[in-house]
Structure 1
Amino acid sequence: MSPLAAPAVDEDVDLARRPDPDRPWQTVVWDDPVNLMSYVTHVFREYFGLPRAEAERLMLAVHNDGHAVVSQGARERMELHAQAMHDYGLWATVRQEPA
């Protein structure tokens, strides 16, 4: 019988740092070298139902600033949006709104 190994412990984890339940979560789409700007606009219009002008504004933010917040709300919903963006081939993450 082999002895049980102790799990590795990360001593640098700050357990006091927790998500703030009062701050909303965001879905962030990031720039990539693959997708055309017209395709990103199409995805924003099709998935989020945005008018062309708003979809183009967000697409330009992704292109020029490197990312754009495309949705904000409950964490679970933002995770669904991020997964949908992945399904369209876009790079997206979820974060809590910066303080």
Structure 2
Amino acid sequence: MTSAAGSTLTQEGTELDLQRSVLHSRPYQVVVWNDPVNLMSYVAWVFRSYFGYSRDKAHQLMLQVHHEGRSVVASGPREKAEQDVTAMHSYGLQATVEEAE
């Protein structure tokens, strides 16, 4: 009887580990939102400086933020996306983390 209970606990633990693994391996995206404060040139500069994007790529993303109200500027593991959002906040930009579709 003890081994059956131990087996169930191990199985539940394995399932929980699998759920955690899937949660951490899902791609997340960094979304930058339009705001009435920051200049478009500044937003493009942030994208070049922080993410290392080319001038053209940064400009394209900035225009998407400006015209569509938001832009996905990066994607990856949740921890990295959270770091990127924190960095965007430190630059004064509004940003959030979303689960990628």
What is the RMSD computed on CA atoms of the aligned residues? 1.7
Amino acid at match of 1:84: A
Shift of 1:23: 3.6
1:76 corresponds to: 79
Aligned to 2:93: 90
Richer in helix (by share): 2
The residue aligned with 1:14 is none
- When normalised by structure 1's length, the TM-score is 0.77
Identity %: 55
Q: What is the identity, as a one-letter code, of the residue corresponding to 1:92?
A: A
Q: Distance in 1 between matches of 2:95 and 2:44?
A: 15
Picking from 36, 42, 45, the partner of 1:42 is: 45
Secondary structure of the 2:46 match is helix
Q: Which runs of 5+ in 1 are unaligned?
A: 1-17
**Of 71-80 and 21-30, the range deviating more from structure 2:** 21-30
TM-score normalised per structure 2? 0.75
Q: Which amino acid aligns with 2:82?
A: E
For structure 2, list consecutive stretches of 5 or more residues without a partner in the other structure: 1-18
Q: Distance in 1 between matches of 2:35 and 2:68?
A: 12
One-letter amino acid of the counterpart of residue 91, structure 1: Q
Bigger-Rg structure (1/2): 2
